[in-house]
Amino acid sequence: MPDALVLAATADEAAERLRTLPEDATDPFRPLAARLRATLALYRFTETGASLLDWAAAQTGLVDPLSRFNRHELERAFQDFRIVTENHLRKLTREMSRQDSSGLAAVVAEQPPAALQALRRVGAVR
């Protein structure tokens, strides 16, 4: 039987992963456009229904996130995650605007509506 301390650490790690951006969105060794695309791809998730559970599973690696977290905890974590995501998106779009404005325009042109809304919120597009 697992030690209670190990379970607590694992639970804390899973909770932290809910609020952390995936490596493909933040890895400084990936091209800026690739990090931007990976960040914008996170807007496919919403805080309701199956999408919330899909997001939590992707973030934590848990097959059933509800086995570790209740729905309220997942909804709160998603709100925190969305704030982190938007701050990161704001930083990436500013950096890309300075380094490669035509590349930014190309990435923006290929985005679905949810990602375009996020880009508008961070002031990257009008």
What DSSP string runs through the chain? ---HHHHHHHHHHHHHHHTS--HHHH-TTS-HHHHHHHHHHGGG--SSHHHHHHHHHHHH--S-GGGTS-HHHHHHHHHHHHHHHHHHHHHHHHHHHHH-HHHHHHHHHT--HHHHHHHHHTTS--
> Which pLDDT tens digits describe the chain residue by residue (126 residues)?
444 333 444 777 888 999 999 999 999 999 999 999 999 999 999 999 999 999 999 999 889 999 999 999 999 999 999 999 999 999 999 999 999 999 999 999 999 999 999 999 998 887
> Is 87 among the domain residues?
yes
The whole domain housing 57 covers: 4-121
> Is 76 among the domain residues?
yes
> Is 94 among the domain residues?
yes
Q: What pLDDT score does 13 carry?
A: 85
Q: What pLDDT score does 126 carry?
A: 76
Query: How many structural domains comprise the chain?
Result: 1
